[in-house]
Amino acid sequence: MRPGAANVLVCPHCRQWLRCQAIDLHNRFDAEVWSDLRVVDTFWHTPADMVACTNCHQPFLRSQAERAGVLPSSIDELDFRIEDDGWHLLPRFGKSRELALLERYLSAPVLTLLSLEAVEAALPAARADAEIDLRLQCLRHHNDVRRHGHGEPWERLAPRFHANTERLLAILSPHDEFHQLMAAEILREYGEFHAAMQRLSCVQHVHGHEKAALMGWIIERRTELMPF
Ligand SMILES: [Zn+2]
């Protein structure tokens, strides 16, 4: 595992400390990020708000969870030196409370992302903002079947894919640039290129890299899932 900035969150149900390795799209290192923002990486996770505790398995919202701290973003920030008998943290951390804290951060299990079944189970009780997050997670799970070519047969999944994307297009906020980026991606996957381009015109201040890539694929009239 490579080091990276990771928030350490507290499970609101059982108080377990959990490491969150959701990728920051502005600083994605070499992670594979797809057009529906699925992240395929051994360290970084797809950003999702509704997640589950690895200890008690209860779902909770990442954005509302208490934060215990942040792991250093690179090995340099750890301030260590390597000697004959292994590596030593420098005095900034050595023998101090911070070292114990760092060890507790590092030993915290990584939080659990919801499976498609868990997402579908959470949907009926979800409030408006949670519904959008859950439906975007649903979209990526459905797309995974096409992306990786395994899992449930597409013919069986297609009606759920259509129902989910139809609802998403209706509830994604016209005032939220991230929502409009995702709406453009859904419309592109359907081959509705003009409508996709209209949605992209609402994306002005963030996600410039993703917007440019999507525009290129729309101009090329491509509907398949694409890695950025
Ligand atoms: Zn828990």
Residue 29, pLDDT score:
74
Residue 11, pLDDT score:
97
Rounded-to-integer distance, Cα 49 and Cα 60, Å? 8
The reported pTM is 0.86
| Secondary structure (3-state) at 182 | helix
Residue 68, pLDDT score:
86
Distance from residue 75's CA to the centre of ligand 1 (Å): 29
Distance from residue 152's CA to the centre of ligand 1 (Å): 30
Q: What is the mean pLDDT of residues 38-50?
A: 92
For the chain, the structural domain boundaries read 6-107, 116-219
Q: Which residues pair with 82 in a beta bridge?
A: 87
Q: Is the pLDDT of residue 223 over 70?
A: yes
Distance from residue 176's CA to the centre of ligand 1 (Å): 31
For the segment 88-102, what is each residue's pLDDT rounded down to a tens digit?
555 555 555 666 667
DSSP H/E element including 39: strand 39-40
Confidence class for position 1, pLDDT limits 50, 70, 90: very low
Distance from residue 17's CA to the centre of ligand 1 (Å): 8
Nearest by Cα to 151 from 140, 135, 162: 140
Q: Is the pLDDT of residue 153 over 50?
A: yes
